[in-house]
Amino acid sequence: MNRSIRKSYRGLALLVSIVTLALGLNVAHAKNMEKQNLMDLMTHTDSILVGTVADKTDGFHKGLPYTEITVTVGQSIKGNHGETYTFRQFGLIEPKSMGDGRVNLMVTPAGWPTYVKGEQVMLFLHKPASETGFQTTAGLTQGKFTIKGKQIANDIGNDSLFAGVKINGKLTATQQDLVKQPGGAYAAEAFLSLVKTAVEENWIENGVMTDEK
Q: Find the mean pLDDT for residues 113-128.
A: 96
Instruction: Quote the pLDDT of residue 97.
Output: 83
pLDDT digits 0-9 by tens, 190-204: 999 999 999 999 999
pLDDT digits 0-9 by tens, 56-97: 999 999 889 999 999 999 999 999 899 999 999 999 999 988
Q: What percent of the chain has pLDDT over 90?
A: 63
Query: Is residue 120 within 8 Å of residue 147, measured between CB atoms?
Result: yes
Give every CB contact of residue 178 below 8 A, 6+ residues apart in sequence. 162, 186, 187, 190, 191, 194
Distance CA 129, CA 99 (A): 29
Q: Find the mean pLDDT for residues 114-123.
A: 97
Instruction: Quote the pLDDT of residue 33.
Output: 64
Distance CA 193, CA 174 (A): 10
Whole-structure pTM value: 0.82
Q: What is the average pLDDT value for the chain, to the nearest integer?
A: 86
Angle, helix 173-180 to helix 188-200, in steps of 10 degrees: 90
pLDDT digits 0-9 by tens, 129-166: 988 899 999 999 999 999 999 999 999 999 999 999 99
